[in-house]
Amino acid sequence: MNVRIIILACWSIALGAQAAEPKTIVCLGDSITAGYGLDNPAAEAYPALLQDKIDAHAMPYRVVNAGLSGDTTAGGLRRIDWLLRQRIDVLVLALGGNDGLRGIPPEVTRSNLAGIIDRVRVKYPDTRIILAGMQMPANLGESYTTRFRALFPAVARGKHCTLIPFLLEGVGGVPELNQADMIHPTAAGQVLIATTVWSILQAALPHP
């Protein structure tokens, strides 16, 4: 009888520990996600700020910052299999900005983003995917900027993802929210990015 009680108690503890295991949110992005130029990227980049919001709501999720400075959608496609070695419950896909700055054809960017999404869903079909849209400055030409801006909603529709219309909403082009290069957000800019992402992400995070 005592042995049975002990076994049941251990089983309950094990189940409780399993239930408490946090789910994983991966932010796959470039230097904006990585927090390039910030004094303390581990605390100031928007993935860390998302974790702060999650913790404040006592939600059982951990945020992984998979930002890599200079990364493109092609780079994300190459490294997604490595990231998929851990389970991904929610993917925030924030790549494409460097594609645009390098003048990569929007059709190529669109194909790479679709490839990343497909690989995630093959491995983890239930993963919720949030795609962050990007925009390019007007000096790249109206035709290019229009095609580039349109590719993100097109991928989101075609792949049934949730769309953040513009990752840098309220931040892009605002001098006081960007570093001297006018590309990378300051810590204050990152706060606004986190707010933009959270407005979409929160709805995708029901308590397990």
Q: Which residues are catalytic?
A: 31, 181, 184
Q: Label residue 5 exposed, middle or buried (CB < 10 Å: 0-12, 13-18, 19+).
A: exposed
Which among 62, 58, 122 has a CA at the least distance from the CA of 90? 62
What are the structure tokens assigned to 40, written together? 């303390």
Measure the CA–CA gap between 32 and 9, rounded to whole angstroms.
47
Measured CA distances, 80 to 70, 76, 115 (Å): 16, 6, 10
Measured CA distances, 1 to 5, 6, 139, 198 (Å): 6, 9, 78, 51
